[in-house]
Each structure stands twice: as structure tokens, then as C-alpha cells.
Amino acid sequence: MKRFFKSLELVPRGLKYKMLIIFCLTSIVPILALLYIISTYIFSITETFGSLMLTIGLSLFIAILGFVLSTNIVNSIIKMAEGVRSLANGQVAPSLETEREDEIGDLGKSLNLLNSRLNQNMGELKSYEQKIREINMEINKKVLALSTLFQIGNMISSTVDLNVILQFIIEKAYEVVKSEKAFLMLMEEESKELVVKAMHNIKTEDVDSLKVKAGEGAFGKVVMANKPFIIDASHKSPGDFRNFLSKHNLKNIIMVPIIMRLKPVGLIACGNNFNSFSYEKDDMELMGIFAKQTSIAFENEKLLQKTEELSIKDDLTGLYNINYFRTRLEEENQRAMAYQRPCSLILMEVDDFKNYYAKNGEIASDAALKKIAQILENSVEQIDRVARFSDEEFAIVCPEKNKMEALALAESIRKEIEKFKFPHAESQPLEKITISAGISANPLDGISSDELINKASRCLGQAKTEGKNKVAV
């Protein structure tokens, strides 16, 4: 039947002609009905029953034929309209009929092609959407890292306490690198031990177990190796770390040494317990940046300590300078006066030191002064303060010592220096390096620091007048 109606579409196969055929077919029915009425009622032409039925049947056939043809076209157009509406809404349209050989068939083919390309583009868009989402995540990660570095830089420049900076660094490393635990270790100068200085999600009782000497144990070897170390799905765990990973419930860990002036001074580490996990290149770079920031903070702290020491210490001898000495003398004297306790001052001068300098030069003279400073420091108690008062003068603040106790200390120091074999000492008038000293004590010699200094200076002058290498009170 379908082939029959298809054969009736005639050539040329175009909507214009099909609509013309439909119009003609649907027009025949009323025309035949009109002719029948005219012939029957107007011209009184008698028709037989057979001819009447033939006319009616022919009319019905023609009407049905026109209805089928029009329905065929209209349904196709409706389907295409639905497909176009779906495409307009960004949805996948159903496949349209393309067997027709007219404009509707061509339009169906075009819409199917457009639908196919739309499906392809939507697939590509989903792929791009996933890539964009990943790029956005990476951008957010970079922004967070840059923000963190900016904050760390501000903390370092504002001289925040080092421990606060280190804790901030380890917490940010924990956030940026996928971690469940993180810690930061620095090397103690004297013991050369790696000690935890900052941590996140590490139990306090486990901190001591991480302490290790540089070059020993798993962490000590990582520091001295001076290169990053990773354990994850792509990097097998060496035997040294198995106990540590098991104890702390970790499967993956990334560690980066902290380097200062080309020397390892610690490490920063982050770990997690994720399955089939591998660290990315960005993780390594970020950990390296955190390690460098830690190095900067650590070195900055060392420089601040050095600056503070230089502000109160003499460059050559390492003793306290005269500014600090005067402040400390005033504080100790005021305290002693308030609590009615003794406080003494010893003022010393190297005898004929200008002669020694003229004959032996600066290097030998500096070495002699350093040795005298060392003897002084080794001779006093912990609460005493030794200072370089001028080029060849030294002073000692002696809290809790009266004049007689200070005299005994000064005599002990004088004898120690007299018997020490200084290089080129034979060039001196006494053929050895000696000192003279003057002593003052509160409240007999004064109640202020200036009065004590003046009294000790007069006593020192007296000792030098009496032949040098003496202590005067």
C-alpha cells in the first residue's frame, strides 16, 4: 500500500506539486457532489442506484487519497518540528525519516546531520568541561599556594616568632598537598639532632620517636642525601621506613630537605593513607617552595639573633660592649640597693698595651686581647658580666660580691694572666703581659653606676702609678 501511494506522488517529487495534487483531489469531491445535485434536482436526470453508488464510492476514494497524502506530509512536518524544537532546547533529537525523495526528506537528512554534529559537539563540550574543571582546580591550588607564600613572606618580614611561622608553614603544606599528617624537623646546632619543630595531626607522644641524628636513621639519611624523597604507588618503600609508615598508619609520604647556605638543616614531610595514590610534579614543586620558605625563615631568625648579639657584644672579643655593660651595671646596682645586697665593679687595663701593639702589630694584639677575654670569662661566675670597656680595658659586674670578694677575684685573674705565656711577651717592659685593676663597691664607693665607675677608675690609676700588675681598692 505504501508503495502504491508512493507511486502516486508523481514526478517531479516536490511539495509544491504534491500540495497541488492534494488540492485537486480534495476539490473533486465537492465538484462531483455539485454535479450530482444539479443533474438530479435541476435537470431531473434520472440516475440508477448503481451509478449513484459509483459516484459516492469514487468520491470517497478520492477524498481518502487526498487525506492520506496530506496526512503523510503533515505528520512528517510535525515530526521535524518536534526534532527542531528539541535541537533548539539543546537536547538530542530523535532520528528523522530520510526515505522521502522530496524537500521533507532533504530537510530530514539535514536535521539528522545537524543532530549528529550536535551530539559530537556536546561530547566534546563534556570533555572540555572536565578539562576546564581540572584546570580550575589546578588554578585554585596555585592561587592557594601563592596566597600561602605571600602570608609566609609577610610573617617573616614582620619578625613573627619562628615557631609560629613554622607551624603556619606545616599547616598550609597539609592543606595544599593531599595529606593526613605533616611535620617539620630542624637540626639542633650543638647535638646535630633532627627535632620536630612543627606538626599537624601527629600525636605529642610520638614526637620524641622522630628525633634522630643527621645521617642516621631514615630521616637523617634523607636530610643528608640533600634531595626529595617519595613513597607512593609509583615509588616503593625502603625497609628503613616500613616501621615508621606502619606506626603512623601511612602508605604515602613526600619529604623535602630544608637547605640553608648549601647545607641541610632539616626536612618537611607530608603523608597520607590513600590507596593507589601517586604524588604529582606540582606536589613536589610546592613542597620545595615550602622548604625554601622555611629556610628563609630559619636564616632570618639566625640573622636576628646575630644582630641582637652584635648590638650588645664586642666584635673582637665576644664580650659585652660598654653600652650593655653600663645598662647592666645600673640594673644590678639598683637591685642591690633595693634589697640591701652587695654589688661590686672591677675595672682592668692591660699594662703597656700600646707598646705591645707598636712592636707586634694588630694581629698579635688582637689575639692577646681575645685570650685575655677568654681568661676573664672562664674566671667569673654565671651571674657575673664581663665587658670590654675600651680598647685595652675590661670591666666585670659582680652581683652579690662585696669588695673583698671582688678583690679576691681580681687577684686570681691578675695572676692567671701574669703566668700565661703570650707570644712576643718579652717585648713588654716587664717581659710579660700583665694587668692592673681597680675595685669599687656599693654603697661605700657610690650609689649610682657612674659613681662606681669613677671610683674604680681612680683605683685603677692608683695601681698603675704604684708600678702596674697590681689591684687597688
3-state helix/strand/coil string of 411-449 = HHHHHHHHHCCCCCHHHCCCCCCCEEEEEEECCCCCCCH
Yes or no: is domain 159-309 CATH 3.30.450.40? yes
**CA–CA distance, 288 with 301 (Å, rounded to integer):** 20
Mean pLDDT (whole number) for 137-152: 74
Q: Tell me, what's the pLDDT at 219?
A: 78
Looking at per-residue pLDDT, the higher value among 82 and 254 belongs to 254
Q: What is the DSSP string of 370-415?
A: HHHHHHHHHHS-TT-EEEE-SSSEEEEEEET--HHHHHHHHHHHHH
Q: Is 364 exposed, middle or buried (0-12, 13-18, 19+ CB in 10 A)?
A: middle
**For the chain, where do the domains classified as CATH 3.30.450.40 start and end?**
159-309
Residue type, 89: N
Q: Tell me, what's the pLDDT at 411?
A: 95
Q: Which residues contact 444 (CB under 8 A, 6 or more apart)?
A: 403
**CA–CA distance, 378 with 41 (Å, rounded to integer):** 151
Q: Tell me, what's the pLDDT at 102?
A: 62
**Do residues 336 and 343 touch, judged by C-beta distance below 8 A?**
yes
Judge whether residue 14 has pLDDT over 60: no
Mean pLDDT (whole number) for 185-194: 85
Residues 434-447 pLDDT 10s: 999 999 999 989 88
Residues 346-370 pLDDT 10s: 999 999 999 999 999 999 999 999 9
| Closest residue by Cα to residue 351 from 197, 439, 465, 246 | 465
Q: Phi and psi dihedrals of 344, rounded to 5? A: -120, 160
How far are the Cα atoms of 187, 241, 443 from residue 217, in angstroms, in the given order?
A: 14, 9, 60
Judge whether residue 392 has pLDDT over 90: yes
Q: Band of the pLDDT at 78, cuts 50, 70, 90?
A: low
Taking CB atoms within 8 Å and a gap of at least 24, the contacts of 26-29 are 26/63, 26/66, 26/67, 26/70, 28/59, 28/62, 29/59, 29/62, 29/63
Residues 223-265 pLDDT 10s: 888 888 899 988 887 777 888 888 888 899 999 999 988 888 9
**CA–CA distance, 119 with 207 (Å, rounded to integer):** 58
**CA–CA distance, 211 with 185 (Å, rounded to integer):** 9
Q: What is the pTM of this model?
A: 0.49
**For the chain, where do the domains classified as CATH 3.30.70.270 start and end?**
313-472
Q: Band of the pLDDT at 212, cuts 50, 70, 90?
A: confident
Residue indicated by cell numbers 674566671? 379
How far are the Cα atoms of 173, 298, 301, 312 from residue 155, in angstroms, in the given order?
A: 16, 12, 12, 26
For the ranges 102-111, 119-128, 142-151, 324-333, the maximum mean pLDDT occurs at 324-333
**Do residues 383 and 460 touch, judged by C-beta distance below 8 A?**
no
Convert 194-228 into a string of H (helix), E (strand) and C (coil): EEEEEEECCCHHHHHHHCEECCCHHHHHHHHHCCC
CATH of 313-472, one of 3.30.70.270, 3.40.50.720, 3.40.50.450, 3.30.230.70: 3.30.70.270
Residue indicated by cell numbers 606502619? 246
**CA–CA distance, 177 with 193 (Å, rounded to integer):** 26
